[in-house]
Chain A
């Protein structure tokens, strides 16, 4: 409608409002990059300027990497998120297939439990799971970070819904071709479900890369720290003094996901908002 007018007032208003909002959303990112690029003296000046007079990003980064073993923490993040995702798929996919395509006594009950499990927030089970890991002597280890999340009831639910849409004929054809039930899960259902598995993978990786609560509870050792824990510790030990390196470290920690997101926005938004289909 508005493009009929010579000056599309509404279109301009839309952009003005959205840009104003975008400025607020981006402010912390810009401030982070700006501070990470400033030398100490410019950071501690009450005069406000975004672009540093002297660029000090490299030295701030160098200092951040020197004070904290950031590479190790990033590696920990990768180890933990990838292990969790792989185990989640290995556990959830067979169960989802059985729930979607096989008939067995107790199926409805199991599915009801899955639906119930989705409602339980992770903090609710923290105390008993912590005690369990304590009894098993697993605290302060990769296992403590990974094991509690190997079961994703949400993943089971999601894959089950997807498998429901796969025609029964395809499963029967695989049986006629001599593929076992176990083989059907990995050779027929998994390839057919790649888009859903990808979306779930993004959901899972983002959630666990950013998780702070659980690593905080079960970890003590510095060498096991995940990225969020690393930033928090960096901040506590350098509080009030070296904001430049701290902002540089924050940049490094959020960079992997933000860059991945910028490259595959559609997939990421799809993955993160998966909870929207519940």
Chain B
């Protein structure tokens, strides 16, 4: 920009490699450097670090550490708490994913099947997604209060037995699942709504002309196949999010009573940030990562086979 209004004097000696080409390349490197550096420091480096740590007995504050190979994993697989946590996490996923996906789809279909009050319903169902989960978890805790809670109050009113939901080891995990579904439904609903809106209207008209006269027939012929990619995506993202369950557990049950709500990330948190057994926590993280990446892999496999309509 320092070159004047007219063409610069013929002093350009860099004619073999036109300089503005490489100038733009320098600019490109300057532009990506902060992002690339931060990515290495905050994402890729730590990812490699967590794998490396899982082979060490590093403890925060310990004077030295050594490489111990698979010992952390051996300990982990020999630890009953780990297996409990894994089983609880999988139970949580297996309940919350179908629950939140089916409810989300049903609500989206109901909303889309009429024209009135659409945005009001959408707002109401989406509200739990927006509200800080920790705050709402505290509210849920009081709703589930054995004596003064709304839930038991209603049950008693209906003449049904009441429970000490979060304090009873047979119900605590399911209570957390219910909160998980309540929170995730709105998100899934919105994704399904977007998917429904993008289905071309002519397809329904064509289906009707082709003899699919009932709503169910049209759903089977058009809606369900056309929602295929969205459904895959919603299932996988719900799965990944459910695997990450932590907030409600930590604030409401701390994994109890008697480990009945212990989940992977909570175990990792306890080991890594309460006992500062970093190496052991890293091994748990790696197990968690394997599950999450496996889900992602399934998604990309399914996505390749999904219905494409452009």
Report A's interface with B, CB cutoff 8 A: 10-11, 14-15, 17-18, 21-22, 24-29, 31-32, 35, 43-46, 48, 90-92, 94-95, 97-99, 102-105, 107, 110, 113-114, 117, 119-121, 123-132, 134, 147-148, 150-151, 153, 156, 178, 180-182, 185, 206, 209-210, 212-213, 216-217, 227-229, 231-232, 235, 243, 246-247, 249-250, 253-254, 257-258, 261-262, 265, 268-269, 272-273, 275-276, 278
CA–CA, A139 and B183, complex, Å: 31
CA–CA, A119 and B236, complex, Å: 12
CA–CA, A32 and B272, complex, Å: 34
- Taking the closest CB of chain A, its distance from the CB of B49, in whole angstroms, is 3
Instruction: Check B148 against A94 for contact (C-beta < 8 Å).
Output: no
Instruction: Check B150 against A123 for contact (C-beta < 8 Å).
Output: no
Instruction: Check A104 against B296 for contact (C-beta < 8 Å).
Output: no
- Taking the closest CB of chain B, its distance from the CB of A146, in whole angstroms, is 11
**Known A27-B143, A123-B246, A235-B251; contact A272-B187, beta-carbon cutoff 8 A:** yes
Indicate if B288 sits at the interface (CB-CB under 8 A).
yes
| Residue in A18, A26, A148 whose beta carbon sits within 8 Å of that of B110 in the complex | A18
Chain A residues near B134 (CB, 8 Å)?
A: 210, 212, 228-229, 231-232, 253
Instruction: Check B191 against A273 for contact (C-beta < 8 Å).
Output: yes
- Binding site of B, secondary structure by majority: helix, strand, loop or mixed? helix
Indicate if B122 sits at the interface (CB-CB under 8 A).
yes
Instruction: Check B247 against A123 for contact (C-beta < 8 Å).
Output: no
Indicate if B250 sits at the interface (CB-CB under 8 A).
yes
Instruction: Check A117 against B139 for contact (C-beta < 8 Å).
Output: no
- Taking the closest CB of chain B, its distance from the CB of A38, in whole angstroms, is 10
| Residue in A114, A150, A254 whose beta carbon sits within 8 Å of that of B136 in the complex | A254
| A150: nearest chain-B partner, CB-CB | B38
Q: Which of B102-149 contact A (CB under 8 A)?
A: 103, 107, 110-111, 113-114, 116-117, 119, 121-136, 138-143, 147-148
- Taking the closest CB of chain B, its distance from the CB of A77, in whole angstroms, is 9
Instruction: Check B38 against A210 for contact (C-beta < 8 Å).
Output: no
| Residue in B50, B124, B133 whose beta carbon sits within 8 Å of that of A212 in the complex | B133
| B3: nearest chain-A partner, CB-CB | A178
**Known A14-B110, A110-B32, A127-B53; contact A231-B138, beta-carbon cutoff 8 A:** yes
Instruction: Check B132 against A231 for contact (C-beta < 8 Å).
Output: yes
CA–CA, A268 and B30, complex, Å: 33
**Known A22-B121, A117-B44, A185-B31; contact A127-B139, beta-carbon cutoff 8 A:** no
The 7 A-B pairs at the shortest CB distance, nearest first, are namely: A128-B49, A95-B35, A181-B27, A128-B46, A125-B46, A151-B38, A94-B31
Report B's interface with A, CB cutoff 8 A: 1, 24-25, 27-32, 34-36, 38-39, 41-47, 49-50, 53, 60, 103, 107, 110-111, 113-114, 116-117, 119, 121-136, 138-143, 147-148, 150, 153-154, 156-157, 182, 185-187, 190-191, 194, 233, 237, 240, 243-244, 246-247, 250-251, 265, 268-269, 272-273, 278, 281-282, 285, 288-289, 292-293, 296
Instruction: Check B246 against A24 for contact (C-beta < 8 Å).
Output: no
Chain B residues near A91 (CB, 8 Å)?
A: 34-35, 38
- Taking the closest CB of chain A, its distance from the CB of B52, in whole angstroms, is 9
Chain B residues near A24 (CB, 8 Å)?
A: 182
CA–CA, A228 and B45, complex, Å: 29
CA–CA, A215 and B134, complex, Å: 12
- Taking the closest CB of chain B, its distance from the CB of A61, in whole angstroms, is 15
Instruction: Check A258 against B131 for contact (C-beta < 8 Å).
Output: yes
Instruction: Check B43 against A125 for contact (C-beta < 8 Å).
Output: yes
| B285: nearest chain-A partner, CB-CB | A124
**Known A124-B47, A128-B49, A275-B237; contact A29-B31, beta-carbon cutoff 8 A:** no
- Taking the closest CB of chain A, its distance from the CB of B124, in whole angstroms, is 5
Chain B residues near A246 (CB, 8 Å)?
A: 138, 142
Instruction: Check A148 against B132 for contact (C-beta < 8 Å).
Output: no
